[in-house]
Structure 1
Amino acid sequence: MSESSPSPIKQIMIAAADLEQAEFERDRVALLYRDLVLQAFGAGEEPAALAEATGIPEAELLRISALVTPAGRGRETLPR
């Protein structure tokens, strides 16, 4: 007995669920990335090294580093 392929509607529903899962995973990784960049600043990494590692322009990283204060490290968010 051969199985028939899912209907087009079922295929769309499956694709939509897959897309939602991929978006969730992307958001999770983006938050992890942000936290790691902030941790690197907190550990004293130089903006030039972070720019090379992240691909974020050094000027943008310098702006971000100005937001990281000793009392509030890790609470700031990177722009999306």
Structure 2
Amino acid sequence: MNLKSLNVGNFLNFERVSIDLTNQNGVFGMNDVGKTNLLFAIRFLLDRVISKNGFRESDYFKNVIDRVIRIT
């Protein structure tokens, strides 16, 4: 599997983000900016155990459950 881009919407601290990926990527930044949440979005796509449980109310951006979470 070759991931070329990641699009996340209405998920945790991401209202909308698009990231182009290559075969080597680094994730860095200050504390509490969403590095772990970004990796969790990727893990949600790839790990069936996590994705089978679906989303919790706390997974929605600013707890707005009216909008759909999109991770593609």
Larger RCO, structure (CA 8 Å, separation 6 or more): 2
* Greater helix share, structure number: 1
* Greater strand share, structure number: 2
Asked which structure has the greater CA Rg, the reply is 1
Q: TM-score, normalised by structure 2?
A: 0.30
